[in-house]
């Protein structure tokens, strides 16, 4: 189990150019596997272009109470990148005027940002249709000051999306750390008590599943059925939907793939599972990602690779939605993660 | 040529068998794909059966493939190992049940 971020350990892979070198080199440079741009070019999707903006995803900081093995953010307690109230204010201007119907707050553990509650309160006033907070669940039980988060979420009608690698203790703790499973179960029960995730409830609680290793997620519906059955029978827990998300080969997951000698096989699996039907709906076509310091990216993964949008509007201080939407999306070989099988996004599968 | 009979990378080339016999290869892969679809048995149950059979026929490619398939389907290691024991039990049972033949022959030949 990891205890420090790659960045804190001073690992070479903490450098984004090193990661991109790997993603663009090896089997791809040797012609053994096709580049993503060639693959989407075959079906007329290169350059990849945005459709209507639907989701505004804001990363309020990389600090987290957990150090998950697979984390594409390389988040952890040692990460100090945190969105300031000033930047949040600029984001609020955007939230009040955006055409997007969904606001999606992520991190790190977004709740660890000292201005998180203020930001949620202000953002909730903007009346955006779907207001998501990606909560890792354990944060709710991490410290007394977070115990009231379920009530806080309910008060602001926040849609909670939480990670749950498996419905068994062993697999969950192996990926996320000892004790994560029990804390997550307790947090889910508390959310259920407030009406979150209950059948017919407007308080939405969805779970995110991502594989605990070098393999792709199985069928989302089958996994959802397995999770629902096990969590209900074993812990009387209910939730709405399960999103099966593919791990993308960047940051700590890339480090794990290389260290465990799974990188080559994993990239083969991604390319083999390439599904042209998923391309039209990949999340970068309807989402933009804003970092803790206000830079704009095509997605959270590009943010972690420091690939800023190819637009005159690169920072929220210059925000202009129409201008921003008229851009080519930056791609590399990690993008195969979003087009494998039924496709993958922060909202789960994307293939029709 | 590889200097060993089994190379894990060869599994990636499985589809190439179609190149030397297109019709039969395609028929096989169509059939194979159909077999593993959700049916009267779930895809999950089929994956566990495939894992057990992979061990009985001692196919290293199949073991790699269905261990990974099991992980993708959220199958636990305990379930996987039990499936392997099912295969092993049938295999050892198949050996041991021949003991009856041995006993029959022994009795027949003995006064």
For residue range A113-156, list pLDDT tens digits in order.
999 999 999 999 998 999 999 999 999 999 999 999 999 999 99
pLDDT for A198 equals: 98
pLDDT digits (tens, 9 = 90+) for A90-104: 999 999 999 999 999
Query: 3-class SS at A3?
Result: coil
Judge whether residue A180 has pLDDT over 90: no
Instruction: Among A16-25, A168-177, A178-187, name the most confident range.
Output: A16-25
Q: Which domains does chain A have, with CATH numbers?
A: 6-339 (3.20.20)
Q: Sign (positive/negative) of CA torsion A145, A147, A153, A155?
A: negative
3-class secondary structure, A345: strand
* Residue A219 pLDDT class (50, 70, 90 cuts): very high
Sorted by sequence, the CB contacts under 8 Å of residue A43 that are 6+ apart come out as A276, A279
Reference A46, options A341, A285, A314; nearest CA is A285
pLDDT one-digit tens code per residue, B49-68? 999 999 999 999 999 999 99
Closest Cα to residue A303, out of A64, A111, A58, A87?
Answer: A58
> Are residues B73 and A211, on separate chains, in Cβ contact within 8 Å?
no
Mean pLDDT rounded to a whole number for chain A: 95
ipTM, 2 decimals? 0.80
pTM: 0.91
pLDDT at A165 over 90: no
Q: Are A188 and A149 in contact (CB under 8 A)?
A: no
Q: Identify the structural domains of chain B with CATH numbers, from first to last.
A: 43-109 (1.20.1290.10)
Cα distance from N-terminal residue to C-terminal residue, chain A = 37
Across the interface, which of A166, A171, A217 has its CB nearest the CB of B72? A217
| Nearest CB partner across the interface for A215, out of B44, B68, B76 | B68
Gap between the Cα atoms of A11 and A165, Å rounded? 26
Judged by CB atoms closer than 8 Å, whether chains meet at A166 and B71 is answered as: no
pLDDT score recorded for residue A171: 75
* CA–CA dist A65, A75 (Å, integer): 9
Which chain A residues have a beta carbon less than 8 Å from that of B72?
211, 215-218
A287 has a pLDDT exceeding 70: yes
Q: Residue A299: what pLDDT? A: 97
CA B10 centroid distance within chain: 17
Average pLDDT, chain B: 95
């Amino acid at each position: 189990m990891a205890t420090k971020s790659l960045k804190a350990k001073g690992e070479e892979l903490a450098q984004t150019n090193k990661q991109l070198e790997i993603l663009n080199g090896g089997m791809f440079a040797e012609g053994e596997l096709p580049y993503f741009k060639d693959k989407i070019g075959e079906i007329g999707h290169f350059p990849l272009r945005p459709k209507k903006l639907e989701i505004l995803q804001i990363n309020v900081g990389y600090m987290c109470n957990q150090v998950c093995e697979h984390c594409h953010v390389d988040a952890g307690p040692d990460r100090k990148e945190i969105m300031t109230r000033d930047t949040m204010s600029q984001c609020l201007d955007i939230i009040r005027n955006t055409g997007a119907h969904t606001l999606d707050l992520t991190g790190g553990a977004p709740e660890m940002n000292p201005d998180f509650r203020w930001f949620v309160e202000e953002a909730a006033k903007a009346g955006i249709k779907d207001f998501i907070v990606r909560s890792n669940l354990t944060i709710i039980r991490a410290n007394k000051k977070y115990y009231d988060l379920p009530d806080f979420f309910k008060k602001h009608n926040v849609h909670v999306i939480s990670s749950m690698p498996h419905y068994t203790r062993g697999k969950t703790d192996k990926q996320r750390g000892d004790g994560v499973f029990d804390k997550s179960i307790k947090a889910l029960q508390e959310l259920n008590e407030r009406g979150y995730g209950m059948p017919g409830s407007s308080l939405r609680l969805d779970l995110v599943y991502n594989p605990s290793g070098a393999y792709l997620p199985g069928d989302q519906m089958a996994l959802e059925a397995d999770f629902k059955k096990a969590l209900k029978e074993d812990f009387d827990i209910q939730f709405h939907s399960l999103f099966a998300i593919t791990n993308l080969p960047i940051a700590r997951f890339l480090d794990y793939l290389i260290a465990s000698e799974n990188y080559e096989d994993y990239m083969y699996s991604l390319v083999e599972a390439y599904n042209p039907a998923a391309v039209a709906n990949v999340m970068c076509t309807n989402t933009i990602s804003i970092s803790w310091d206000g830079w704009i990216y095509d997605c959270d993964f590009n943010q972690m690779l420091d690939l800023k949008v190819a637009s005159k509007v690169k920072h929220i201080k210059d925000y202009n939605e129409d201008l921003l939407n008229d851009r080519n999306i930056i791609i590399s070989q990690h993008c195969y993660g979003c087009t494998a099988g039924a496709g993958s996004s922060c909202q789960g599968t994307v293939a029709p | 040529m590889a200097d060993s009979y089994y190379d894990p990378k060869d599994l990636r080339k499985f589809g190439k068998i179609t190149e030397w016999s297109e019709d039969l290869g395609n028929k096989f892969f169509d059939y194979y794909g159909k077999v593993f679809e959700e049916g009267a048995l779930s895809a999950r149950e089929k994956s566990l059966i495939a894992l057990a059979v992979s061990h009985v026929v001692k196919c290293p490619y199949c073991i790699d493939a269905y261990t990974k398939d099991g992980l993708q389907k959220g199958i636990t290691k305990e379930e996987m190992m039990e499936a392997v024991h099912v295969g092993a039990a049938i295999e050892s049972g198949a050996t041991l049940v021949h003991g009856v033949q041995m006993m029959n022959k022994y009795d027949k030949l003995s006064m």
